[in-house]
Amino acid sequence: MTAAPAPAGGLQTRPLRGSGGASRAGQGRAGWAFATPQAVLIGLFVLIPILMAFWVSLTDWRGRGSPFSGSVGFVGFDNYAAILTEPGLARQDFMTSLRNNAWYVLLVVPLQTAIALGLALVLNSRIRAKGFFRTAFYFPTVTSSVAISLVFIFLFTGGGAVNALLGVFGIDGPNWFSDSRGLLHLAGDGLGLWDSANPPAALTDGGPLGLTWWDWLSGPSIALAALILLVVWTSAGGYMLMFLAALQDVPADVREAAVMDGANRWQRFRAVTLPALRPTLFLVTTLGLIGTWQVFDQVYLISQGNPAKTTLTPAYLSYTSAFETGQWGRAAAMSFVLFAIIVVLTTLQRFLMRDKDAIAERRAARAVARRRTSTTFFHADR
Amino acid sequence: MTTTLEAPPVETPAPAPARRRFPVGRFLAYVVLVFFSIVYLYPFLIQVVTSFKTDSDATNSPLSLLPDPVTTAAFGRLFDTDFALWGFNSVWVSVLVTLGRVLLCSLAGYALARLRFRGRSALFTAVLAVMAVPGVVLLIPKFLVLNQLGIYDTPVALFLPLVADAAGVFIMKQFFESVPASIEEAARIDGAGTFRVFWSVVLPMARPALITLTILSFQASWNELPHFIVASQDRDLYTLTKGVATLTTGQLGSGNQFPLTLGAALLMTLPVAIVFFVFQRYFVAGANEGAVKG
């Protein structure tokens, strides 16, 4: 946004308009000619699909023929009711997938943000071989989820590297990807709060939305925990780069002033670095939220929702409901509910992280925007 | 990127206490970095080493970094599968997606940045809105359209939907707005038409942005999995990601053929790894650019 828009050249542009080369009408035609191919593709493969899927979510289409043919029944919001309000297996499965994904988000987002921020802070100090460390942490982000999943299947298999390593310390590791025990259930066992084999009736007797309190509060299963480790390991490096870039924008003079005033390391971090990182922190958690609610690849590749449906996620359940069970209407409805969850949560997060220091935030955001529009490409070319 | 060049000058003027604290802090920093380097590099080392092991060696000593004996049998077995075909499919799909994205995104980005036409701001709003749609939500919708258009399970279905990329349009628009308009104006005075100005004057200047977009597009299409799952089922149209996935989910996955699967993972990572190490600075630029598209 820093550069002047096209016709700002005033004196320069006027004569050439007269000469016809870039007349207003000519520019209009050229503008559409330039933009149309990509606009058509985006319309065809993003906008129209969304409209079509919304129609399908209101029908009982089973995947045969066209969803617009006369034999397809219009069912209103029945598909949404089946997964949200009506007691039954469909709702139980969908709620289980939401539970799993919620635990997943709750662990992945803070963990990957903390690791990314920590590594960025350490790398931003005077360190040798900075480039080497940065590359090592960032590389998983650019490799394919398939390759990484295959490696992690090997690492976390029953007799695999992780358990061999744990064995060195005398720990008998679990059979990671086939262990459905919930971490909170296990923690309760360990603390003597309850016995998972015989859970307290107060928790198993009822609960909201078709699952018992005991089920909601299971925590991630050990299998899901292994997926969480995989994803945190993969994505932290990318967010680390964003923090590193933001740390460049921390005003050096303010930091020096803080040093002069006798602020210690922690005070400097709280008062100078952290406020400057706020916009990036916001960005990283938002991207984290959006990404983690969409987890699909790793479930498809590693666990297929097993064991005992503890790695089932809405995205994967939607896929199997459509392609394996043929319940396209219900599957499309799940997609829209997932979409709504992502929109609501990111809006909520925006609201929660906003009011404080709104001015500082805007100022820093402008600094980031400036760096991005002008610096990125030219510095990249160095 | 510039990170390496600018060490913060805070430490230098710090008074005596800092000197006492400093070595401890730095030592801890190295401990943290070395620990995480091991956590990050060991899986890749294991991947490389295990692909040269025998099945039983891989299962019996999963931590060992010395294959005993060293064998390339896993790669031999890998090429008894359709691995070469998957690789071929991945190559042409990625090349077409990358070419399509770079060409169409720079055209559209230029139009949004420089050309005045009716509906321009509406179009830009649409681009921003589309960028906000979570990709996984589109899986079933995409299948519906491919099916309706009658191109499901055809080569076109593999690459054309991936060319539709709003984020690339945004990146190119941002770039074109950051270059001064005066050079284009000069070219126009010389009587060049809009397309000629774009092609011979603007695009050559846009080299860094084009390289960034090329790399992002190549990496994204090479690593893509969910789109290929919903766009086709014909075994002849499997790409590397989809084909290699069958090594774990299909019949081959039942045994402990870890050298085979890790060898496949290694080979499919190599092209992206090479591009990454050659063009690393553009990846860094792209990562920060990707931040914008959130």
Task: Tell me the CATH number at B170.
Answer: 1.10.3720.10
Q: Over the Cα atoms of chain B, what is R_g?
A: 24
Report angle CA B260, B47, B135 to the nearest 5 degrees. 90
The reply to whether the predicted model has a pTM over 0.90 is no
Spatial distance between the Cα atoms of B75 and A154, rounded to a whole number of angstroms: 17
| Count of domains observed in chain B | 1
The whole domain housing B125 covers 81-238+268-293
The answer to whether the CB atoms of A318 and B40 lie below 8 A apart is no
Give the burial string for B105-136 (b: 16+ CB within 10 Å, else e): bbbbbbbbbbbebeebeebbebbeebbebbbb
Window 312-371 of A: residues touching B by CB (8 A cutoff) are 315, 318-319, 322-323, 328, 331-332, 335-336, 338-339, 342
* Sequential pLDDT tens for chain A (382 residues): 344 344 433 333 333 333 344 566 777 888 889 999 999 999 999 999 999 999 999 999 988 888 888 788 889 899 999 899 988 899 999 999 999 999 999 999 999 999 999 999 999 888 888 889 999 999 999 999 999 999 999 999 888 889 888 988 988 888 888 888 888 888 888 888 888 888 888 888 878 888 888 889 888 999 999 999 999 999 999 999 999 988 887 877 777 788 788 878 788 888 888 888 888 999 899 999 999 999 999 999 998 988 889 999 999 999 999 999 999 999 999 999 999 999 999 888 888 877 555 556 566 666 666 555 443 443 333 3
On whether any CB of chain B is under 8 Å from the CB of A248, the answer is yes
CATH number for the segment(s) A87-182+219-380: 1.10.3720.10
Task: Tell me whether residue B25 is in a domain.
Answer: no
pLDDT, one tens digit per residue, over B190-224 is: 888 888 889 988 898 888 899 989 999 999 999 99
On whether any CB of chain A is under 8 Å from the CB of B151, the answer is no
Single out the residue of B273, B278, B215, B268 nearest to residue B91, CA to CA. Answer: B268
On whether any CB of chain A is under 8 Å from the CB of B69, the answer is no
Spatial distance between the Cα atoms of A174 and A176, rounded to a whole number of angstroms: 5
Task: Count A/B contacts: CB-CB distance under 8 Å.
Answer: 390
- Its sign, for the CA torsion A174, A175, A177, A181, is negative
Contacts of residue A19 in chain B, CB cutoff 8 Å? 189, 191
* ipTM of this predicted structure: 0.85
Q: How far is A315 from chain B (nearest CA, A)?
A: 7
Contacts of residue B209 in chain A, CB cutoff 8 Å? 377
The answer to whether the CB atoms of B288 and A376 lie below 8 A apart is yes
Q: Which of A155, A290, A302 sits opposite B43 (nearest CB)?
A: A155
Spatial distance between the Cα atoms of A221 and A124, rounded to a whole number of angstroms: 36
Spatial distance between the Cα atoms of B240 and B84, rounded to a whole number of angstroms: 9
* 3-state class (DSSP) for residue A182: strand
Residue holding tokens 């949560």? A345
Task: Tell me whether residue B56 is in a domain.
Answer: no
Spatial distance between the Cα atoms of A88 and A77, rounded to a whole number of angstroms: 16
Structure tokens at A216: 């909601």
Window 71-90 of B: residues touching A by CB (8 A cutoff) are none
Window 13-32 of A: residues touching B by CB (8 A cutoff) are 13, 15-16, 19, 21-22, 24, 26-32
* 3-state class (DSSP) for residue A221: strand
On whether any CB of chain B is under 8 Å from the CB of A102, the answer is no
Most A-contacting residue of B140, B175, B184 (CB-CB within 10 A), to test interface: B140
pLDDT, one tens digit per residue, over B91-109 is: 999 999 999 999 999 999 9
Structure tokens at A100: 């799993």
Q: Which of A147, A238, A302 sits opposite B287 (nearest CB)?
A: A238
Spatial distance between the Cα atoms of A368 and A366, rounded to a whole number of angstroms: 5
